Structure 1
Amino acid sequence: MVTGCVELHQSFKAADSTVPIPPPVPSKSDGHQKRYVAPGIEHSCVSTATRDMWDRLFNDGYKANVVIYTDNGGIIYAHANIIGTASTVIKGMLKQAKRHGKWHAISIRGVPHDAVRVFIRFLYSACYEKEEMNEFIMHLLLLSHAYVVPQLKRLCEWHLEHGLLNTENVIDVFQLALLCDFPRLSVISHRMIMNHFKELYATEAWIAMQKSHPFLEKELRDSVIIEENMRKDRIRKCNERRIYSQLYEAMEALVHICRDGCKTIGPHDKDFKPNHAPCNYQACKGLESLIRHFAGCKLKVPGGCVHCKRMWQLLELHSRVCADSDQCRVPLCRNFKEKMEKQSKKDEVRWKLLVRNMLGTKIIGRSPFFLPVTSSSSSVS
């Protein structure tokens, strides 16, 4: 290291006086902290000793020939052939850079000095410290895109996807992902914004985005509205399917009660058995109570009693799905079949739609006592 510093000092004597002198002392990365390497590098044939050598070459600045100016007067020394090979953009900058003797001078500004140092070190050995990655992830993301370093770009994206993306930086990450062509990261950050919209809407980052990118902010708000409407639609359809499924089970239980009998109610021509096997129809208990009420209620006329009205509707619904009214044991099945011919077209369409939706919930294992769904579907159309 001493020899390197002496040579650098002698070169500066011959160079322009404006060029700064000797590189800084080695950074903390020379210590015994755990060093991380880019995914895939740890499985390569390059040894740890080789990577350590590249790290030392960067830290010592031995025979460096590039001066990199950063914000707040910071200076980093590097080797043109190494950083130019690692980044085609930097290679082009070096070709156009002003020279002071053997020294090339370029500038990387707009990000903290330490972030630039982590970036340049990565160009040498593809290594980094975990703490530095956590602190400068956004700056490294921008630098990797601006200077076309695909390996670092993928690395930053991976770290954000596996822990570093949070509600504090997700808005900035989303904007940067769109500007710097990170399609996967933009989708992931967009999903997080949708899930934490109420929390993020009043933050300073959101207000800043509203001022700098108003169209993007509007698109996000529209996305939230669309997502909420889709969620409500899914819930509505789920509730409808559950209701149709319950109606189908009620139709099966009704046929079961009137044909075979169950627990306390059975056909008039069969004796009830106290030791009847457990029923497999969940709707049986409720239907038996409804039938028992229907048999003894004095307000049986439709509209006179809420419970009786429901029973009338179930009987009519059964008649519309029944495959054979001549053999059916359910009361009034044939009567309702004859009544269908006198109904208005509007009521008929409404009933057929209900039948189609109800039968559609049981495509597999349909009861042989009900009409196939194709018949009801074609009748609706």
Structure 2
Amino acid sequence: MVTGCVDLDQSFKSLDSSVPIPPPLPSKSNGYQRRHGMDAAPGLGNGCVSTATRDMWDRLFIDGYKADVVIYTDSGYVIYAHANIIGNASTVIKGMLKQAKRHGKWHTISIRGVPHDAVRVFIRFLYSSCYEKEEMNEFIMHLLLLSHAYVVPQLKRLCEWHLEHGLLNTENVIDVFQLALLCDFPRLSVISHRMIMKHFKELSATEAWTAMKKSHPFLEKEVSDSVILEENMRKERIRKRNDQRIYSQLYEAMEALVHICRDGCKTIGPHDKDFKPNHAECNYEACKGLESLIRHFAGCKLRVPGGCVHCKRMWQLLELHSRVCADSDQCRVPLCRNLKEKMEKQSKKDETRWKLLVKNVLGSKKIGGSPYFLPVTSC
């Protein structure tokens, strides 16, 4: 049963407006494809020649009627073919036929290095552009190499499509990767490289990897280096994502701090405001944790920088606020003005570190922002 066939139909353009418009070509899911289980490979067409025509081309190849070419393969086997057909299908074979010495009416060429059956599938494709699915699965690597070596673009695209859509696996991916680079399959090389990186630990312990290391040591090193680079980039992305989350949390904590000190929140806030039992629901998610931190800071006996871990966090938050506060004269956050004045006595190293932190914290909220914070500025 034929399970694959390259489209040989072409659309026609009307040369005269009086000529009736021809019916549309069969759709991708035409009846012939459904009956024969064809794989519709993109870019290779979705129609097929009639069954009678296909059978005629297959019979011509199988019977070798008036064949004038002998193809020698490995193990001493031969395949008979027709020079006009295989020569027109492959420019490389056409050149080989021109150079081949004539023995009576026969040309002789050799296709070695691949199994005899793979050569037979390849030559049959040159006749009818058809193939058996089982043969494609078995000889995909050999057909990939033959399609490149003998310049058969249709078969080359077909092999690439089948590998991309199911035939590429961890058992053959290293060989496919090397062959894709050797035979100019840029898309296939990228796909196989991604699979190698995904299963690197498993694949690096296989015989195929050892063979690649011996035959192509520079390639093996490049793949290994790319895996290390990708892992470092992944860790860097995670680090930046975590840093961004921390900066965003600090920004929200400063907003909640201003809210508590200016408006009050539930049971904590300015001393000059009374709290009502039906206090409105707070919109600041950071308030809950910040309330506990403020209460601890107010009652801790070690309330000095470095004396208590929790108090140290509060001191850092207060200093960070003082650096981003837009108006310390009107600000109701405790120690805001005092900490601003303290900045002038800090070392250049500490000042640079704080400026970078301020930039990152303010930059975590690029959209919107609070009117009581300074705008984002570069260091």
TM range (shorter): 0.7 to 0.9
Task: Name the % identity.
Answer: 88
Q: Aligned in 2, Cα 1:144/1:215: closer, same or farther, shift over 3 Å?
A: same
Tell me by how many angstroms 1:160 deviates: 0.9
Please tell me the residue identity of whatever aligns with 1:151: Q
Tell me by how many angstroms 1:60 deviates: 2.1
CA distance in 2, matches of 1:38, 1:101: 42
Which residue in 2 is equivalent to 1:308? 311
Q: Aligned in 2, Cα 1:36/1:85: closer, same or farther, shift over 3 Å?
A: farther
CA distance in 1, matches of 2:75, 2:205: 33
Which residue in 2 is equivalent to 1:278? 281
Please, which moves more after superposition, 270-279 or 120-129? 270-279
Which residue in 2 is equivalent to 1:287? 290
Please tell me the residue identity of whatever aligns with 1:274: P
**TM-score when normalising by structure 1:** 0.87
Secondary structure at 2:345's aligned position in 1? coil
Which residue in 2 is equivalent to 1:107? 110
Which residue in 2 is equivalent to 1:29? none
CA distance in 2, matches of 1:55, 1:96: 27
Deviations 1:170-218 (A, max 9, x none): 1111111111111111111111111111101110000001111111111
- In the alignment, is residue 353 of structure 1 matched against residue 356 of structure 2? yes
* Residue 73 (structure 2) aligned to one of 66, 70, 75: 70
Which residue in 1 is equivalent to 2:195? 192
Tell me by how many angstroms 1:36 deviates: 5.5
* Residue 219 (structure 1) aligned to one of 208, 212, 222: 222
Matches within 5 A, 1:123-134: 123-134=126-137
CA distance in 1, matches of 2:99, 2:71: 14
Please tell me the residue identity of whatever aligns with 1:324: D
Please tell me the residue identity of whatever aligns with 1:237: K
Please tell me the residue identity of whatever aligns with 2:209: W
Q: Aligned in 2, Cα 1:39/1:320: closer, same or farther, shift over 3 Å?
A: closer
Cα RMSD, aligned residues only: 1.7
Aligned residue pair count: 345
CA distance in 2, matches of 1:300, 1:363: 34
CA distance in 2, matches of 1:197, 1:41: 33
Please tell me the residue identity of whatever aligns with 2:226: S
Tell me by how many angstroms 1:37 deviates: 7.3
Please tell me the residue identity of whatever aligns with 2:233: M
- In the alignment, is residue 339 of structure 1 matched against residue 319 of structure 2? no
Q: Aligned in 2, Cα 1:41/1:285: closer, same or farther, shift over 3 Å?
A: closer
List gaps (5 residues or longer) in structure 2: 1-34
Matches within 5 A, 1:41-190: 42-44=45-47, 46-190=49-193
CA distance in 2, matches of 1:346, 1:159: 60
Secondary structure at 1:316's aligned position in 2? helix
CA distance in 2, matches of 1:71, 1:163: 29
Which residue in 2 is equivalent to 1:324? 327
Q: Aligned in 2, Cα 1:40/1:358: closer, same or farther, shift over 3 Å?
A: closer
* Residue 252 (structure 1) aligned to one of 250, 255, 275: 255
1:35–1:129 Cα contact (<8 Å) kept:
no
CA distance in 2, matches of 1:174, 1:41: 23
Secondary structure at 1:43's aligned position in 2? coil
Which residue in 2 is equivalent to 1:264? 267
* Residue 243 (structure 1) aligned to one of 242, 246, 257: 246
CA distance in 2, matches of 1:247, 1:237: 15
List gaps (5 residues or longer) in structure 1: 1-31
CA distance in 2, matches of 1:33, 1:259: 77
Secondary structure at 1:302's aligned position in 2? coil
**TM-score when normalising by structure 2:** 0.87
Q: Aligned in 2, Cα 1:34/1:333: closer, same or farther, shift over 3 Å?
A: closer
CA distance in 1, matches of 2:135, 2:196: 26
Secondary structure at 1:131's aligned position in 2? helix
Deviations 1:30-81 (A, max 9, x none): xx97566765555347434323322222122222211111111222111110
1:38–1:127 Cα contact (<8 Å) kept:
no
CA distance in 1, matches of 2:128, 2:189: 28
CA distance in 2, matches of 1:212, 1:43: 40
Which residue in 1 is equivalent to 2:25? none
CA distance in 2, matches of 1:332, 1:52: 93
CA distance in 1, matches of 2:247, 2:40: 57
Q: Aligned in 2, Cα 1:54/1:277: closer, same or farther, shift over 3 Å?
A: farther
